Amino acid sequence: MGGRFRKEPVYVGNHIPPHFNEVDILIDQLIVTVQENWGTWSATELAAYCLWRLNWIHPLVDRNGQTARPVCYFQLCFRNGQDSGLKTR
């Protein structure tokens, strides 16, 4: 289930995320916004934006929060020029 963009509507408490047909473009816009503001926003601003935007879009079938938190952490580390300490496969 995890890692796939949702293809159906979801409801998160009182929040109604964007229509699933908009998920691809909203994720692309998130990436472009980070790239365009990499040198002007602080590490905290970039991380906060990613955390908020990913949770607002709610793009995945499952585990959106568990995905957004590491993205936030990586933004903090990479923007500050630090190694995250996490290993990739």
Provide the β-strand partners of residue 15: 12
Active site residue 15: no
* Active-site choice (23, 30, 58, 64): 58
Q: Cα separation of 58 and 50, whole Å?
A: 12
Q: Cα separation of 50 and 55, whole Å?
A: 8
| DSSP 8-state code for residue 18 | P
Q: Which residue has the tokens 């905290």?
A: 44
Q: Among all residues, which ones are annotated catalytic?
A: 58
